[in-house]
Structure 1
Amino acid sequence: MIDIASFMMAGGRMIASERIQGVNDNMAKSHYHEYYELYYLEYGKRYHMVDDSIYSLNSGEFIIFPPYSMHHSYGDNDVPFKRLLVYFTPETVMVPEVLHIFSQSAGVYRFDTKTSQSVHFLLKEILKEQEDAEGYHFDAMKMLLNQILIKTARRSDETAAPENQSRITEILHYLHNHYSENITLEDLASRFYISPYYLCREFKRYTNSTIIQYINNIRIIHAQRLFMETNRTITDISKEVGFSNVTHFNRVFKSIIGMSPSKSRKQHADQKEQG
């Protein structure tokens, strides 16, 4: 599945929309963005693994992911689905208090039929503005988006709870809290009283990722945040997020992000100056 909206964002857009439908179209592994994502399920049923929690999403429900939130979606076999999404940067949100609400953690919203239809209508209007590209279409998209966010913020206490915790979600929670430590497969299996073979198999089934890949993704996410929020050296940051030497950190960072840590930091600095 080609995500055209993500290419738009990579090209400098502050807001982009896209509608996609499919069946048996599951993400290969967890990923994250440097911007927000609003994912509205028009029909079908999908599951979303977000950091260390799993949520189910039914027709007419939507989820908002904050930046740097690891997530991937998947569905049951042969169940078709259609979703409408909007990517947006923090700068597009007009009310600071609203931005703060959605920056905390991902949330699934299950509104009554009337409110859900209202959100759906506004999302379709955002996509239409993008496709028509008439005068002031970006401003119109921004205004429509903020209507959705304000509607949702007013009912932010109605977010749905994740699915019941399983052994794997407990392990994911542990990894998100201890990613900077030296975690081995044997230690992890022993801590949760399961065999290394079973742990690897079930972890791969839930996350489409190996344990090492998942830990490295968490570490790189936190490293990127530290690049943006501090002036600390790359060596210091690599140690803080759990790498024993900066050479290994540089190699893993480039394999995940596609560029070196120094180039990524410069890119963030340039974007900040331009903004």
Structure 2
Amino acid sequence: MIDSAGFLMAGGKSIASERIQGVDDNMERSHYHEYFELYYLEYGNRYHMVNEHIYSIQSGELILFPPYVMHHSYGDSGVAFKRLLVYFTPDMILVPEIKKALGTSSGVYRLDKKDSLLIHQLLKEILKEQDEGDGYGTEAMQMLLNQLLIKLARRSGESIKPEQSGRISEILHYLHLNYSENITLNDLAARFYISPYYLCREFKRYTNSTIIHYINNLRIIQAQRMFLETDKTITDISREVGFSNVTHFNRVFKSLLGMSPSQNRKQLRPSLPPEQYSESKRPSSPEQNQSHI
């Protein structure tokens, strides 16, 4: 599936919209963005894995992903779907209280028919402004978006329970709490009383990711948050998120994001002094042991 809206965001847009329909169009693995994603299902049924939880959404329902939340969507074999989404950066939200209300966790919104139709109409208007707007298109999209977000913020306290998903969900929850620790496959399997082979097989089936790739994603997400929220050196951040040395951190970071940690930090916080874009000069520990996940 081609993510045209994602290309627009990568090109510097603050808001982008896209409609896609398909059958058996399933994401291969979890990913995350540096911006919000609002996903409205126009018809069909889809499952969304959000961090360690799975949610099932039906037509007329929507889900909001804040920045740096791991997620991916998939559907049952042969079931057609159509969805309408909007990506937008946090600075597109005009009311600070709404940004705070919506920015802390993902939300699944099961709306009554009236609200669902209204939000669907706002989303269609956002897409129309992107495709046909003659002037002030971005400003019009922003105003429509904020009308929509006010309605969601009023319902942000309503909790939608995830699907029950058993042992692998417990393991994912453990990894989200302990990703910075020195975790080995054997230790993880022993903790949950299963064989390493079964753990690897079921984890891959459930997440479409290897355990090491999943943990590295968690670590890199947390590192990006620390780039935004702290002035710690890249070396110190790499240690705090679980890498034994900054060389390994740099290699994993670049393999996942296509840029170095210093380049990403400069992109996220261009006003920082130059020394904050480099690693510290302190020597690092030996290369991470390959027996560790």
Scaled by the length of structure 2, the TM-score of the pair is 0.91
Shift of 1:269: 2.1
> CA, structure 1 residues 149+223, in 2 after alignment: closer, same or farther (shift >3 Å)?
same
SS at match of 2:157: helix
Corresponding position of 1:82: 82
Corresponding position of 2:93: 93
Which is helix-richer, 1 or 2? 1
Corresponding position of 1:240: 240
> CA, structure 1 residues 150+183, in 2 after alignment: closer, same or farther (shift >3 Å)?
same
SS at match of 1:25: coil
Shift of 1:198: 1.1
CA contact (8 A) 1:110 1:159 kept: no
Corresponding position of 1:166: 166
SS at match of 2:151: helix
Corresponding position of 2:38: 38
Shift of 1:136: 1.1
1:213 aligns with 2:218: no
Q: Note the alpha carbon deviations across 1:110-131, whole angstroms, 9 max, x for none.
A: 0111110110000000000000
Structure 2 residue runs without a partner (length 5+): 274-293
Corresponding position of 1:136: 136
Shift of 1:32: 0.2
Percent of aligned pairs sharing the same letter = 71
Shift of 1:229: 1.3
CA RMSD in angstroms comes to 1.3
Shift of 1:263: 1.2
> Which runs of 4 or more aligned residues in structure 1 lie more than 6 Å from their structure 2 counterparts after TM superposition?
none
Shift of 1:14: 0.7
Name the CA distance, whole Å, in 2 between partners of 1:216 and 1:28: 16
Scaled by the length of structure 1, the TM-score of the pair is 0.97
Structure 1 residue runs without a partner (length 5+): none
CA contact (8 A) 1:110 1:158 kept: no
Shift of 1:225: 0.9
Q: Note the alpha carbon deviations across 1:217-262, whole angstroms, 9 max, x for none.
A: 0000011111111111111111000001111111000000101111
CA contact (8 A) 1:51 1:70 kept: yes
Corresponding position of 1:255: 255
Shift of 1:152: 1.1
